Structure 1
Amino acid sequence: MSLTRTDATWVGPLALLLATGGLLGIATNLAKLAGEAGLDPLAFLAWSIVGATVVLLGVGTVRDRLPSLDARTVEYFVVSGLIGVAVPNLLFFAAVPRVGAAFVALAVAFPPLFTYLGALLLRMERFQTSRAAGVALALGGAVLLAALKLSEPDAEPFWVAATLTAPVLLAGGNIYRTARWPAGATPDELAPGMLATSGLMLLGLGAISGVVGGAGRFTLAVPTANLEPTLLILAQAATFSVMYLLYFGLQKRGGPVYLSLLGSVGAVVGVPVAVFLLGETPPQGLGVGGLLIAMGVALVTLGGPKGD
């Protein structure tokens, strides 16, 4: 693709990618602040998603764009909510206190290779050398940072592994949402449906944990000694509201592989926030890894949103 192409089809998807990735980086750091405020990862994630669902359903009601409920859309909401939101985000949020917000932000940059390979196998993308090279560079930067994290003396292998499992689920969600996109549905109809089902799943998990485990490993309780936990939930709900609305727009216009790069953008935002504002130690290899990720995003962007 020539850089002088006049239709500029990449401008809209690139703007969506930068905005969505930036919000993702903010969301990761809000999870760290929530942990420091005494909020359980499940409570923070569940109530934030419930709040975002209420906002998007309210907007949909005003615009008369509520999601339809039939067998196809219900399946879409359940599967995408499970593997694209509920499970990976719970893994990420639970891992933040153990591995740090900076590492979790970097781990969200992992899905491109898995998404690209899946898209090629399903013929949703055609092979393009520059695009493949971009995905490989972005993944290479992320792998370097992960390997250096594991080499640290105080590393917790279980939580590092849990953090690295979530991107595989996200990649599956990227592929699924494109392959099973309901005919005629718009992003602002699908986003609240996916969030609603993932919120119900998380609330159900909290209820089961409370019954089966007593105090349980997870809880939906929100500390009320001060306003900080509630304010953090409201901030995350607002972040999720905008992020997931843009998320589906990016999925529609850019395709699954381009969408998967939002984690790389999120890392560019999330890591500096974690280091400079939250006082975390910079991950080893940040300079080299960050450069590889940035080069990868550039190559995939210049290759066209859908590898055209």
Structure 2
Amino acid sequence: MTRLWHSAPGLLLVTGTLLGLTLPLGKIAAAAGISPALWAFVISFGAGAVLLVVLVSRGRGLNLDFATLRYFAITAAVSYAIPNLLLFAAIPHLGAGFSGIMLTLSPLLTLAISLILRLRRPDVLGIAGIAVGFIGAVMVTLTRGEAGQPAEPFWIGVGLLIPVSLAVGNIYRTLHWPKDSGPIQLAAGSHLAAAAMLFAMVVASPDASSFSLLGAVPVLVVAQVAASTAMFAFFFRLQAVGGPVYLSQIGYVAAALGLFAGTVFLGESYRLTTWLGAVVISIGLVMTTRAQSSADVP
């Protein structure tokens, strides 16, 4: 575990895999009648609460100075509440696998923003890997969802907004990481802030009684909370070790897992072009992983 905690490629694979589990679980939740806002609340509240308990058990708590609270609020909105709402709203219309592919556009947007802001530029292999991954994502996007069930342009647009929000969050967290704050502290505080936002949204909506629906799927809720809690602990560590552009590669891993889970377990069907795009994305992941490994060698 200690070695994994210091390995950017290892953290990338673990974090991306745990993120990918959210896609099929989200589709199952939607089929059970759980709204996107409520399921996003489950993720943020569950992860935030468990991580806070871990902190307290270690004799630590959350920093509550103004700068850190601002960080919690902004990160909660652009990294969790908004993209999760969009993701869980889109999954029933695009499929778990196709929705996951939208995550792969985050690296390109993260790189573009980082170059504009003159953050550290990736090397040639890293840039090439991101470009290859993007080509694969375009191939998948053009298929418009499951075979025989082309999605409406509106939902394609909703899906495309997901990586925009994620990219903004990637850059913001790097530029404004609070001093003297660890990854678990930031993950706990940001998710609890997101949970508060989402709770207000659910209560204000006409289907506020949908909280009772969670009792009908306890195993699903526990599985989602466990996966998201572990994922976000590794997520913030990966942010510190790999930086914003490398962090954004988790979308490639999540998309591949989402395609596999959607096809094997949820009965989704995708065109050959979609699968070829997934292969191209995987090649891009290998290239960026090697680039990061080379950068880590002294």
TM-score by length of 2: 0.92
Q: For 1:256 and 1:91, how far apart are their aligned partners in 2?
A: 21
> Which digits, 9 at most, give the CA deviation of each residue in 1:37-87, with x for residues without a partner?
221221122123212211111111001232201111011111111000000
* Correspondence for 1:117 among 103, 112, 123: 112
> Which digits, 9 at most, give the CA deviation of each residue in 1:184-231, with x for residues without a partner?
21101110001011111111112232xxxxx35xx462345x954233
Residue in structure 2 matched with residue 81 of structure 1 by the alignment:
76
* Correspondence for 2:244 among 253, 256, 260: 256
**Could you tell me whether the CA contact under 8 Å between 1:137 and 1:293 is conserved in 2?**
yes
Task: Count residues in correspondence.
Answer: 293
Seen in structure 2, the aligned counterparts of structure 1 residues 283 and 169 have a Cα distance that, compared at 3 Å, is: farther
Map 1:8-87 → 2, pairs under 5 A = 12-87=7-82
* Correspondence for 1:205 among 198, 201, 204: 201
Seen in structure 2, the aligned counterparts of structure 1 residues 97 and 240 have a Cα distance that, compared at 3 Å, is: same
More helix by share: 2
**Match of 2:257, as an amino acid?**
V
Q: For 1:34 and 1:153, how far apart are their aligned partners in 2?
A: 21
1:152 deviates by 6.2
RMSD: 2.2
1:155 deviates by 1.7
Identity of aligned residues (%): 36
Say yes or no: does 1:286 pair with 2:286: no
Map 1:125-144 → 2, pairs under 5 A = 125-144=120-139
1:298 deviates by 1.4
**Could you tell me whether the CA contact under 8 Å between 2:5 and 2:237 is conserved in 1?**
no
SS at match of 1:69: coil
1:290 deviates by 1.3
Residue in structure 2 matched with residue 193 of structure 1 by the alignment:
189
**Could you tell me whether the CA contact under 8 Å between 1:26 and 1:270 is conserved in 2?**
yes
**Could you tell me whether the CA contact under 8 Å between 2:45 and 2:191 is conserved in 1?**
yes
Map 1:161-172 → 2, pairs under 5 A = 161-172=157-168
Residue in structure 2 matched with residue 222 of structure 1 by the alignment:
211
| Most deviating of 78-87 and 11-20 | 11-20
1:127 deviates by 4.6
Q: For 1:25 and 1:140, how far apart are their aligned partners in 2?
A: 20
**Match of 1:155, as an amino acid?**
A
**Could you tell me whether the CA contact under 8 Å between 2:8 and 2:292 is conserved in 1?**
no
Unaligned runs of 5+ residues in structure 2 are none
SS at match of 1:148: coil
Q: For 1:42 and 1:233, how far apart are their aligned partners in 2?
A: 14
